[in-house]
Amino acid sequence: MSQRAYPGSEPPATIAARLAEAAGTRWHAFWADDLSLLERGCVQWRHVMSSRQLTDVHLLARAVRQGGRLVTLD
């Protein structure tokens, strides 16, 4: 969101402030990163199109494991 190519890009400090605001709501919870994408059944790899999706796949798998939701700012 801070990259110039991103429409409506903002300085990193502004984005950090927005993230801090979102993390301060009652709907936010921190989850420890105790997930391996190599665990059997964790990911349906046939749906992953490229390595560029790995971060999103990892975050989605964590949300599913915790019974939560994945929300992104991009």
Q: What is the pLDDT of residues 37-58, one digit of tens each?
A: 999 999 999 999 999 999 999 9
Count structural domains, the chain: 2
pTM of the model: 0.65
**Do the Cβ atoms of 20 and 46 come closer than 8 Å?**
no
68 band by pLDDT with thresholds 50, 70 and 90: very high
Give dist(CA 63, CA 57) in Å, integer. 10
Could you tell me if 42 and 19 lie in one domain? Answer: no
Task: Give pLDDT, residue 74.
Answer: 66
> Which amino acid is it at 66?
Q
Could you tell me if 38 and 72 lie in one domain? Answer: yes
> Which amino acid is it at 49?
M
Residue span of the structural domain in which 9 resides: 1-28
Could you tell me if 43 and 58 lie in one domain? Answer: yes
Could you tell me if 3 and 15 lie in one domain? Answer: yes
Average pLDDT, the chain: 91
Could you tell me if 6 and 20 lie in one domain? Answer: yes
Could you tell me if 53 and 68 lie in one domain? Answer: yes
Could you tell me if 24 and 36 lie in one domain? Answer: no
29 band by pLDDT with thresholds 50, 70 and 90: confident
